[in-house]
Structure 1
C-alpha cells in the first residue's frame, strides 16, 4: 500500500469518526449535524478514491468513479451550508434552489460522456478520463468553496468582542484555505501531468478543525479526545481476542477486554457527571450575574423613585407647614384652644415629615454619589453649643437631663460643611432623645483624641441601649425597623400581623417614624468629612454612647 492509498484510508476514518462523535454530542444542534454531513461526504469521497485507485481492473474502477463524482459534488454544498450556519447567516431560498438545482444537474451530467469518457491508467493506478465539459465540475466546486471562504474573511474582518470566537473563525479560514487547495490539486491530473496529492493536504484541514474542537470548543465538545482514545483502546483489545492462539490466551484477552470496557464505561460516566455538574454551576453563575444586574437596575430605579417622590412631597408639605404656622401666629385671627392644639400637632407632624423627606433625599444623593459638601473652617465648640441650644426645649419637655462639657475649656477648629455636619449631629442627638425615657440623662462632651490629633465628640445616654446584633448592622439604611419586624415575627403568628404592626408602631424604635435612616445618614456624612463614627453599648437597657472623631485644622 503506497502513501496515496494510506492517506485516503486515514482521511476516511478520521473524517467519519470526528463527524460522528460531534454529532453524538448534540444531535439537535444544526451546526453539529451539518458538520457530520460534510464529514460523511469527505469520508465517502476518500474511501471511493481509494477504491478507484486500487481497483484491479478498468470496469471496477469506472464503477467506483461514478460514485466518487457524486460524493465529490456533495462536499462543496455541505461545506457552504456548514460555514453559513457557523457564521449564523441565513441562506436565501432562491440561493438554495440554485445550488441544489445545479447539484442535481451535475449528478445527471456526470453519468454522460460529456463529463467523463471513463478511466485510464495513470501514476500506476486508475484515474478519471475527462470529457469535453468536465471543467464545469471544478468550476461549480470552486465557486461554492470561494463563496464560503469569502464569507469567513468578511466575518473575520468585523469587530468581534469574543477572542475565542475570533480564533474559531481564523482557524476555520486557515483550514478551509489549506484543505480545499488540496481539493483543487486533485483536479490537476485531468489537465496536467501532476500527481494528485490533494488527499494529503485535506488531512491538514481535518487536523486543524480537530484542533479547533479541542482548543476553542468549536462544537462545545470536551470529551472527543478521551472518547477516541478509549474507543481505539477497546477496539484494539477486542481485535486482539481473534489473534489468540491458545485457550489460555483467548480467556485472558477476553477478560482484559471486558474489564477495560467496564472501567472505560465507568470512567466516561464519571466524566459526564462532572461536566454536567460544571455546566449546571456555570448556568447558575450566569443566572446569578443576570439577577445581580437586575437587582442593580432595580436599586437604581428605587433610588431615583425615592428622589422624585421626595421632591414632589416637599412643596405640599411646605404649604401645610406654612399655613399651620400662620394659624398659630394668629394671621387668620384668634383660635380656640382645641383648634390651636390640633394645629400644633399638625405643625409638629408636618415638621417631622419634612425632616423625613430631607433624609430620604439625602439617602438618594448618597446612593447616587451626588452628595456635595462645601467645607468651612469652624470653631467646633461654638458650633456644638448652637446645636445644643436647639434641643434644650425638647429635652426639657421629655424630662431628660442634658449637659454639655468641653475638655479644659479648649477650642477645636475643624473643616466641615456646617449644614451637613449639623444634620449628622442632629440625627445622633435625636436618637438619644427618642430612646431615652423621662428621668434619663444625656451627656455631650468634646475632647482631643491624642493619638490621631482629632476632635472627639461623645454623646452618651441612659436609654434603651443596643444588643450586639444591633451594633453589627446599625449603620445599614432602614435597618432599625427591619430588626423590629424580625424580632416581632419570631414572637407572633402570621394571623396576628395586624397586632404586631400596631405593637411595632408603639415601640420606642418606631416612634417618630425614623425608619432607621438617621444613623446611616450620619455615618455617611461623617465619613465624607474624613471622620469616623462608632457606637458603644453594653447591651439593652444599659444606654448608648456615640463617638464621632473629626480631624482638626
Structure 2
C-alpha cells in the first residue's frame, strides 16, 4: 500500500470515529444536528473509500461503475452540509425549508443522471503510465454547478448569521466554521472538479485530505455550540478503541485456549464498556437537567426581583396617598378634642377619640410601609450628628409614661452612671427605634412593668439599650425570625391585633445602617422579653 492510500485510510478511520461519537449521543435537543453531521461524514467516507479503491482497480468496466458511484457520493456532501447549516443558524437566520429540499432533489436527480447515462462520466481509461483518465460529458458543468451553488448558499447563511448575531462566542465559532469549510471546499472543488475537467488528475486525491479539516471544523463548531458532550465522546471512543484492539488480537490467537480467553475478555470488556457509557449518559443527563432547572430558577428569580421592585413602588405610592388624608383626619380630630371648635358632648368626644386613635395607628402603619419601601429601594437617608443616647432614651420614656399609666403599667428608666453615652447617628431614626420598641413593650404587656436601661459595655466603645418587659414573651423559634418582614409572635394577636410585623424589621435595618446590632431575648411564652440594641460610642 502506497503512502497516499495509507494516509487516506487514516483519514477515513478518524472521520468514522467522529461520526460514531456524535451519532450515539442521546440528548434529544442534539439529535437533528447529530444525524446531519453523521450523514456528512458518511458521504465523505464513502467518497474517500471510493478514491482508494479507484487507485487500485485496473479493470475498465468496473472502474466506470465505481467512478460514477464515487461522483454520486460526492453530490450529497454539500447537501448534508447545507442541511447542517440551516440547523446551526436557525435561531439567527430564518431559512425556508424549500432550499434543503431543492438541494436533496438536485443531488438525487444528478445521481440518477450520473449512474444511468453517460452525460456526466462518459468513460475511464487506464494509461500504461500515470494517473487514470476520466472522460466527462456535457452534463458535467451541471454537476459542478451543484457543488458551487449549494456550498455558496451554505457559506452565505453562515456569513449572514455571523453578521446578525450579537453573541461574541457564537460569532467566533461561526467565523471559524466559515473559514475552515471555505478553505476545505475550495481545495476539493479545485482538485476534484476544475482540474479534472481540464484533464489534470495527478492530485485528485488531495481533496480527500482536506475532508479531515472539513469534518474537524464542523466537529469543533458543534462541540463549542454544545450540541453534544465531549465526555460522552471520549468514553465511546475509548471503549470502541479497546474493543477494536481486542478483536484484532482475537484473529492472532494461536491456540484454542487463547481464543476462548480472548473471546471471554472481549465479552467482559463489552459489558463493562456498556455499563461505563450508561453511567456517563446518566451523569450527563442529570447535569443537563440540573442546568435546565438552574436556568429556570434564574429566570424566576429575575421575575421575582422585578415583582418585588414593582411591589415596593406600589407600596410607596399607596402609602404616600394615604398619609395626607390620615394627617388631616388626626389633625382635625386633635383640634376637636382640644376644644378648638367649642365644647362637644361626651358621646361625640368618645367617638372623636376613637377616630384619633385609629388614625394615629393607621399613620404608624403607613410610616412603616414607607420606611420599608425606602429601605428596599435604597432611598433611606441618614443625617448624622452627635447626641447622648441616654438623654434621647430618657425623653422617649417620658413621652410614653402617660400611655403606660393608662394600662396600669410601670415604666422606668435607668443608666449605669458611666456616661456620657455620645453616639454619632441619625437622631430621628434612633428616636423612631426607641419609640417603636417601648411602644411594643407597652402593647404586649398586660400587667407588670417595663424598664429601659442604658449602659456602657466593658470595652468602653459601645453603648447598649435594653427594653425589658413582663409581657407575653416568645419562643426560641419565633425569636430567630422576629426581625423579618411581616413576622409577629404566635400569641401577639391575642394582645394587639393592629400590628403589621414591619416595625422590628425597620428597626433592625436602621440600627444596622449605623453599624450597630439589635436582637431579642425571652425565657419563653408568657415570661416577658428583652429587646436590646447596641451603637458604637464616639471616641
* TM-score normalised by length of structure 1: 0.84
Specify whether residues 209 and 79 from structure 1 end up closer, same or farther in structure 2 by C-alpha distance, changes over 3 A only.
closer
Measure how far apart 1:194 and its partner are: 4.1
Specify whether residues 234 and 98 from structure 1 end up closer, same or farther in structure 2 by C-alpha distance, changes over 3 A only.
closer
In structure 1, which of residues 468, 486, 500 is the aligned counterpart of residue 476 of structure 2? Answer: 468
After superposition, the CA RMSD in angstroms is 3.2
1:258 aligns with 2:263: no
Specify whether residues 174 and 141 from structure 1 end up closer, same or farther in structure 2 by C-alpha distance, changes over 3 A only.
same
In structure 1, which of residues 530, 534, 548 is the aligned counterpart of residue 519 of structure 2? Answer: 534
In structure 1, which of residues 112, 115, 118 is the aligned counterpart of residue 123 of structure 2? Answer: 118
Distance 2:289 2:138 in 1: 60
Contact 1:52–1:127 (Cα < 8 Å) also in 2: no
Distance 2:41 2:330 in 1: 83
Residue 61 of structure 1 corresponds to 63
Cα distance per residue 1:50-105 (max 9 Å; x no partner): 33332221111111111222221221122122122212233235645664565456
What SS class does the counterpart of residue 480 from structure 1 fall into?
coil
Cα distance per residue 1:367-415 (max 9 Å; x no partner): 2211112233434444334322321110111112222234448444433
Contact 1:186–1:198 (Cα < 8 Å) also in 2: yes
* TM-score normalised by length of structure 2: 0.86
The answer for unaligned runs of 5 or more in structure 2 is: none
Measure how far apart 1:348 and its partner are: 0.8
Distance 1:405 1:97 in 2: 91
1:72 aligns with 2:74: yes
Residue 242 of structure 2 corresponds to 233
Specify whether residues 206 and 449 from structure 1 end up closer, same or farther in structure 2 by C-alpha distance, changes over 3 A only.
same
Distance 1:16 1:127 in 2: 29
Measure how far apart 1:363 and its partner are: 1.1
Contact 1:531–1:551 (Cα < 8 Å) also in 2: yes
In structure 1, which of residues 349, 366, 376 is the aligned counterpart of residue 358 of structure 2? Answer: 349
What SS class does the counterpart of residue 25 from structure 1 fall into?
coil
Distance 1:448 1:249 in 2: 90
Measure how far apart 1:239 and its partner are: 5.1
Measure how far apart 1:19 and its partner are: 2.9
Residue 180 of structure 2 corresponds to 175
Specify whether residues 17 and 127 from structure 1 end up closer, same or farther in structure 2 by C-alpha distance, changes over 3 A only.
farther
Contact 1:116–1:134 (Cα < 8 Å) also in 2: yes
What SS class does the counterpart of residue 57 from structure 2 fall into?
coil
What SS class does the counterpart of residue 123 from structure 2 fall into?
strand
Specify whether residues 222 and 216 from structure 1 end up closer, same or farther in structure 2 by C-alpha distance, changes over 3 A only.
farther
Contact 2:44–2:211 (Cα < 8 Å) also in 1: no
Cα distance per residue 1:249-288 (max 9 Å; x no partner): 3322222222222222222222222223323333333333
1:441 aligns with 2:445: no
User: 5 Å matches for 1:200-219?
Assistant: 200-210=209-219, 217-219=226-228
Specify whether residues 409 and 139 from structure 1 end up closer, same or farther in structure 2 by C-alpha distance, changes over 3 A only.
closer
Measure how far apart 1:352 and its partner are: 0.7
Measure how far apart 1:162 and its partner are: 6.0
Contact 1:531–1:548 (Cα < 8 Å) also in 2: yes
User: 5 Å matches for 1:391-406?
Assistant: 391-406=400-415
1:144 aligns with 2:157: no
Distance 2:299 2:317 in 1: 27
How many pairs does the alignment contain?
A: 528
Contact 2:174–2:221 (Cα < 8 Å) also in 1: no
1:457 aligns with 2:461: no
Measure how far apart 1:243 and its partner are: 4.5
Distance 1:271 1:97 in 2: 37
What SS class does the counterpart of residue 95 from structure 2 fall into?
coil
Contact 1:377–1:416 (Cα < 8 Å) also in 2: yes
Specify whether residues 264 and 93 from structure 1 end up closer, same or farther in structure 2 by C-alpha distance, changes over 3 A only.
closer
Q: Which range moves more in the overlay, 246-255 or 361-370?
A: 246-255
Specify whether residues 453 and 262 from structure 1 end up closer, same or farther in structure 2 by C-alpha distance, changes over 3 A only.
closer
Q: Which range moves more in the overlay, 4-13 or 339-348?
A: 4-13
What SS class does the counterpart of residue 546 from structure 1 fall into?
strand
The answer for unaligned runs of 5 or more in structure 1 is: 485-503
1:155 aligns with 2:161: yes
Measure how far apart 1:35 and its partner are: 1.6
Residue 396 of structure 2 corresponds to 387
In structure 1, which of residues 134, 147, 150 is the aligned counterpart of residue 140 of structure 2? Answer: 134
Specify whether residues 541 and 131 from structure 1 end up closer, same or farther in structure 2 by C-alpha distance, changes over 3 A only.
same
Residue 304 of structure 1 corresponds to 313
What SS class does the counterpart of residue 66 from structure 1 fall into?
helix
Measure how far apart 1:426 and its partner are: 0.6
Specify whether residues 474 and 137 from structure 1 end up closer, same or farther in structure 2 by C-alpha distance, changes over 3 A only.
same
Contact 1:531–1:550 (Cα < 8 Å) also in 2: yes
Q: Which range moves more in the overlay, 246-255 or 167-176?
A: 167-176
Measure how far apart 1:429 and its partner are: 0.7
